[in-house]
Amino acid sequence: MSSLNLDDFTDLIERPDGGVRRDAEARRERLIVPPGSLGRLDDLGEWLSAAQGAVPVRPVERPRVVLFAGDHGIAGLGVSARPAGSAGDLVRAILDGGSPVSVLARRLGVPVRVVDMALDCAPDAFPKDVVRHRVRRGSGRIDIEDALTPEEAEAAFRAGIAVADEEADSGTDVVVLGDVSVGGTTAAAVLVAALCGTDASVVTGRGGLAIDDLAWMRKCAAIRDALRRARPVLGDQLQLLATVGGADLAAMTGFLLQCAVRKLPVILDGVVAAACALVGQRIAFRAPDWWLAGHDSGEPGQAKALDRMALEPLLKQGITVGEGAGALLALPLVQAAAALSAELPENPPPAPEQPPTEE
C-alpha cells in the first residue's frame, strides 16, 4: 500500500499572500512611473511580492534551470524527428556546454541542473549527481503498455519532490523548469488531451524539430491509441502518469507541486512542463498560482494546457528546441520586474496646505 496521498497537496499548498499583493499594488500606485506604463512588468512585480511575502519585492538573485530527462518508448514509432533513445545525446550536449540552454545559461549566469529519470543508456554514462534519481531505463510504449509500474511512478514522483526540496533548501529563488526527452511531447499531448477532454488531432504538434506530415499522422495515431488507455484512469493522477506519462513527467509533476508547497516560483518551458502542470492542477487547484508560463512554443497541447490554467506566456519567439531555453529567455523579464518594483522611487507626498495669510 502506497503511503503517498496526493490529496495532502490540496491542504499544503496556499495561494501567494493576497494581503501582500494588495500592499504591492498600493505601492505601485505611488511610484513615479504612471500605473500601467510598465505593462505586464507591473503584474509580475506584484506577483513576485505576493510569492515572496515581501514589499518591496526582493531581487531574483539565485535562479536555477532544472531539467528532467528521459526517453520514451513511443519514440520507436517514428513520432519524433530524433532517433528513439537518443535523449542521452542531448543531455551530453547540455553538460558539455554546447546546447542552446547551456549557451543562454552561461550568458545569464544561471546554473543548469539535469536530472536523469529514464534515459535509455547505461547509468554510468553520466555523473552521479545526474543519475542518482533514475527510476528505470526508458519509459514504456504508451500506446500498447504502461509507461511505468505503479511503484516506478511513485518513485519518480517522490524524486521530483526531493529535487524541489533540495532546490528550496539551497536558496534557489526561481526555477526555470524544462525537459530533455525524445518522445516526451507525445506523452505530454496525451495527458493534455485526456485532462481537457479533447481529441488527439487538437493537441498533436510537430515537436522540437518539426516532423513532416507522415510523422505527424503517426504521432496523432499514437496519441489516439494512448488516449484510449488514459481515459479509464483519469480519476487517479498517479496512475495516469504511470499509464501514459513517464518517469520524467511523473517527477516533474511532483517537483511542481512541492515547489508550490515550498513557495518557490517556477517558470514553465514547453508542452511537457505545461502538461505536468495540468496534472498538478488536477491534484491541487491552487498550485498554478505559483507558476509562470515562460513562452509560447507553438505546440497546440501547450496552448490548451495553459488556457485551462489561465496562464499567459511571457514571450512568443517561436522557440521549439525545448530544454528550458524558451523559459530561460523569460527570466530576465522576471528579474527586471523585481528590480523596477523594488528600486523605482515613490512620488513625494503632497506638500501640506498652508493656511491663508492675512492681508
Give the cell for residue 59.
Answer: 531581487
Of the candidates 342, 154, 346, 323, which has an alpha carbon nearest to the alpha carbon of residue 253? 154
Element (H, E) at 307: helix 300-309
CA-to-CA separations, 99 to 93, 96, 119, in angstroms, rounded: 5, 8, 18
Question: Between helices 271-283 and 247-261, what is the axis angle to 10°?
Answer: 60
Tally: H helices and E strands in the chain: 15, 5
In the block, cell 522611487 appears at 345
Task: Tell me if residue 129 falls in helix, strand or coil.
Answer: helix
d(CA 266, CA 174): 6
Altogether, the residues listed in the chain come to a count of 359
Distance from the Cα of residue 345 to its chain's centroid: 33
Q: Which of 29, 61, 323, 359 is catalytic?
A: 323
**Residues 304 and 192 sit within 8 Å (Cβ to Cβ):** yes
Name the phi and psi angles at 91, rounded to 5: -65, -45
Q: Which class for 350: exposed (0-12), middle (13-18), buried (19 or more C-beta within 10 A)?
A: exposed
Active site residue 14: no
- What is the C-alpha end-to-end distance of the chain, expressed in Å? 91
**Residues 113 and 255 sit within 8 Å (Cβ to Cβ):** no
Q: Which class for 98: exposed (0-12), middle (13-18), buried (19 or more C-beta within 10 A)?
A: exposed
Q: Which residues are catalytic?
A: 323
